[in-house]
Amino acid sequence: MLAVATGCTFDPSGPTGESLSADATAAASADASANTDASANASADATGDGTDPTWTVIETLVVDTASPQPTYSQQVLQSGVVYRLRVSGTITNVIDAFEGDADWYDFADPKDNGCCEDIGLGIDDFVVNDLDTQPDWGPYDPTHIYEVPWTGDGTTIAALFQDTYYGNNIGNLTLEILALQ
């Protein structure tokens, strides 16, 4: 049900929603793990005709970081199919009036954990007060855009911003689900 998701960075050189080739995505993901590389390679081989497949946004979710309620996708992610999740945006007042993003806060000295919580956007992760929000979106990126592979399990996904106190959060995160075309 839960894919092993390792973080990587994403080069936001194109407009949001732009189709990306698997090679461009892999090149922009210098920190990608062997799992990410294996997923991209397996996907690239899937066409069998020598053309590069492209990753296309199939759904965009807006996640309210001030809400303790998850945001659900409409799109059912097919079981065993590798998708990509891309999150972007910043939030004001995450902890002690610091800004935050999908995995980090206090951008002058980026931190992942605050108090008793791994602050950030969880996917299909409903346990808020723990130090293990899934997926790990990777190292801090000053563009505040993160991308990880995600294997579908035949259901929709739920996105929930993980924070111990929602009342001070101001802002939304944008979560895009990309599929290989």
**pTM beyond cutoff 0.85:** no
Look at residue 97 and tell me if it is in a domain: yes
> pLDDT digit of tens for each residue in the chain (181 aa)?
434 333 333 333 333 444 333 433 333 333 333 333 333 434 444 445 667 789 999 999 999 999 999 999 999 999 999 999 999 999 998 887 899 999 988 999 898 777 767 788 999 887 777 666 889 999 999 999 999 999 999 999 999 998 878 888 999 999 999 999 8
Look at residue 168 and tell me if it is in a domain: yes
Look at residue 75 and tell me if it is in a domain: yes
Q: What is the domain extent for residue 113? A: 8-180
Q: Work out how many domains the chain is built from and give that number.
A: 1
Look at residue 24 and tell me if it is in a domain: yes
Look at residue 2 and tell me if it is in a domain: no
Give the residue from 119, 146, 141 showing the smallest Cα distance to 131: 119
Look at residue 164 and tell me if it is in a domain: yes
Look at residue 1 and tell me if it is in a domain: no
Look at residue 3 and tell me if it is in a domain: no
